[in-house]
Amino acid sequence: MRRLLKLALQKPELAATLLLLLMVLFFQVRSGGVFLDYNNLRGILGFLPEMALVAIGVTLLMIAGEFDLSVGSVFALSPMTMAVLMVAGWSFWPAFLVALLACVVVGLLNGWLTIWFDIPSFITTLGMMFMARSMTVVVSGGFPPRLDFELIPEHLFVAYVGPGEMFRASFLWLVAIAVIVGMLLSRTNFGNWVRATGGFLPAAQAMGIPTHRVKLACFVICSVLAGLAGIIQVLRLGSPLPSLGMGYELQAVSAAVIGGTSLSGGIGSIIGGIIGATLIRVIDNGMVMSQIDGTWFQFAVGALTIFAVVGNAWLRKRGRAMKVETDPK
Amino acid sequence: MTDPIIQVKDLHKWYSGVHALKGVSLDINRGEALGLVGDNGAGKSTLINILSGLHRPDQGQILMDGRPVDIRNPKDAMGLGIETIYQYNSMVPIMSIARNLFIGREPLKFSLGGLGWLDLKRMREDSVAAIADVDLHLRSPDALVGELSGGQRQGVAIARAMHFRSKVMILDEPTNHLSVKETNKVIGFVRGLRDQGVTAIFISHNMHHVFACCDRVVAMALGQVVLDKRIGDTSIEEVQDVL
Decide if B197 is inside a domain: yes
What are the tens digits of pLDDT across the range B116-144? Answer: 999 999 999 999 998 888 777 787 888 88
Q: Is B117 a domain residue? A: no
In a domain, B126, yes or no: no
Sign for the pseudo-dihedral over CA of B46, B48, B53, B56: positive
Query: Which residues of chain B lie closer than 8 angstroms to A329, CB-CB?
Result: 137
pLDDT for the residue numbered B68: 92
Residue B217, classed as helix, strand or coil, is strand
Task: Give the distance from CA B129 to its chain's centroid.
Answer: 21
Residues 6+ away with beta carbon under 8 Å from B169: B82, B83, B84, B85, B158, B161, B193, B198, B199, B200, B201
Secondary structure letter of residue B96 according to DSSP? B
Q: How many CB pairs under 8 A join A and B?
A: 83
- Helix A92-116 and helix A71-87: axis angle, to 10°? 150
| pLDDT tens string A123-181 | 999 999 999 999 999 998 878 888 877 888 888 888 888 777 888 899 999 999 999 99
Task: Give the CA angle between residues B133, B103, B163 to the nearest 5°.
Answer: 20
CB-based contact A266:A198 (threshold 8 Å): yes
Number of domains in chain B: 1
Q: What is the chain B residue with the closest CA to A196?
A: B92
CB B202 within 8 A of CB B171: yes
Q: State how far residue B118 is from chain A, nearest Cα, in angstroms.
A: 5
Quickly list DSSP for B168-204. EEEEESTTTT--HHHHHHHHHHHHHHHHTT-EEEEE-
Q: Report the CATH number at residue B238.
A: 3.40.50.300
- Per-residue pLDDT at A1 exceeds 70: no
Angle between helices A270-289 and A169-187 (to 10 degrees): 150
| Cα three-residue angle B41-B43-B49, rounded to 5 degrees | 115
d(CA A192, CA B120): 11
Q: Which residues of B touch A (CB under 8 A)?
A: 52-54, 73-75, 78, 84, 86, 88-95, 99, 102-106, 108, 111, 115-118, 120, 137, 139-140, 147
Answer yes or no: is pLDDT of B239 > 50.
yes
CA distance B161 to B82: 9
Owning domain of residue B191:
4-97+131-242
> Contacts of residue A187 in chain B, CB cutoff 8 Å?
117-118, 120
Considering only CB atoms, B137 lies closest to which of A203, A206, A329, namely A329
Mean pLDDT of B184-192: 84
pLDDT at A9 (0 to 100): 72
Instruction: Decide if pLDDT at A325 tops 60.
Output: no
Contact residues, chain A to chain B, C-beta under 8 Å: 187-193, 195-196, 199-200, 202-209, 266-267, 320, 324, 326-327, 329
Mention every residue, 6+ apart, whose C-beta is less than 8 A from residue A112: A216
pLDDT > 50? residue A328: no
From chain A, the residues in CB contact with B73 under 8 A are 208
Domains of chain A as residue ranges with CATH:
13-321 (1.10.3470)
The verdict on a CB contact (< 8 Å) between B90 and A206 is: yes
Q: In this predicted model, what pLDDT tens digit does every residue of B202-232 receive, in sequence order?
A: 998 888 889 988 999 999 988 889 899 898 8
Quick one: average pLDDT of A20-27? 92
Mean pLDDT of A307-312: 84
Q: Is residue B119 part of a domain?
A: no
Q: Find the DSSP H helices in B74-166.
A: 74-80, 97-101, 120-133, 150-163
Partners of residue B109 in chain A, C-beta under 8 Å: none
Percent over 90 (pLDDT), chain B? 35
End-to-end, the C-alpha distance of chain A in Å comes to 20
Contact B116 A195 (CB under 8 A): no
The percent of residues above 70 in pLDDT, for chain A, comes to 97
B170 alpha carbon, distance to own chain's centre? 2
Residue B181 counted as domain residue: yes
> CA-CA distances (angstroms) from residue A254 to A222, A284, A308, B43, B62?
15, 14, 10, 46, 51
pLDDT value of position A323: 60
State the DSSP H helix or E strand holding residue B35, giving kind and residue range, or none if neither. Answer: strand B33-38
Distance CA A229, CA A251 (A): 14
- Please report whether residue B122 resides in a domain: no
Cα–Cα distance list, A16 to A23, A44, A247 (Å)? 10, 18, 21
b (16+ CB within 10 A) / e for A94-122: ebbeebbebbeebbebbbebbbeeeeebe
- CB contacts of A208 in chain B (<8 Å) are 53, 73-75, 78, 104
Q: Between A84 and B189, whose confidence is greater? A: A84
The top-scoring range by mean pLDDT among A214-223, A238-247, A253-262, B179-188 is A214-223
Task: Enter the pTM of the model.
Answer: 0.89
Beta carbons of B228 and B218 less than 8 angstroms apart:
yes
Q: Has residue B45 been placed in a domain? A: yes
d(CA A70, CA A277): 18
Complex-level ipTM: 0.83
d(CA A239, CA A233): 9
Does A207 contact B88 at a Cβ distance shorter than 8 Å? Answer: no
Percent of chain B past pLDDT 70, that is, above it, reads 98
- Give the chain B residue nearest A203 (alpha carbons): B90
Q: Note whether B74 contacts A195, CB cutoff 8 Å.
A: no
Report whether pLDDT(B96) > 90. yes
**For B52-89, what is each residue's pLDDT tens digit?**
998 899 999 999 998 999 999 888 999 999 998 886 66
pLDDT (average), residues A214-232? 97
Residue B8 within a domain? yes
